[in-house]
Amino acid sequence: MKRNRLTRRPAVAKASRMDQRETQHGREKGPGGRLMPALQEVWHKRTARLGVSVLSLGMMAALSGCITVSAPDKPIVIELNINIKQEVIYRLAADAGKTIDSNKDIF
């Protein structure tokens, strides 16, 4: 039985991250607990492609120019009745005038 050189505890066979992932999915293992060479090759290609795509995304973001956000020079005014649209006011204006004229006691 293999033991850890320092702790003298029984050595736990550490599987690499790659192997762990593959075994989780119940993949076959080759001799020595490692993935079969063909599978390993596929895995490497996949990670390489992912790396390239991530890199290219970063490059695109870097090359497409910076987005600058600047604070407005005027103070931000929160208007009341913001949901009342000007077009509605213009449509109602004539009728509102008539209403005032015919109810002079309350206006």
Binding residues for another protein, rule: CB under 8 A, are 79-81, 84-86, 88-93, 95-97, 99-100, 103-107
Q: How far is the CB of 58 from another protein (least distance, A)?
A: 45
Least Å distance between CB 83 and another protein?
8
By beta-carbon proximity to another protein, the closer residue of 60 and 78 is 78
Residue closer to another protein, measured from CB, 1 or 93: 93
Identity of the amino acid at 83 = N
Distance CA 19, CA 40 (A): 9
Phi and psi at 48, nearest 5°, equal -65, -45
The answer to whether the beta carbons of residues 15 and 34 sit under 8 Å apart is no
Shortest distance in whole angstroms from residue 66 CB to another protein: 34
Q: Encoding tokens for residue 92?
A: 């109602």
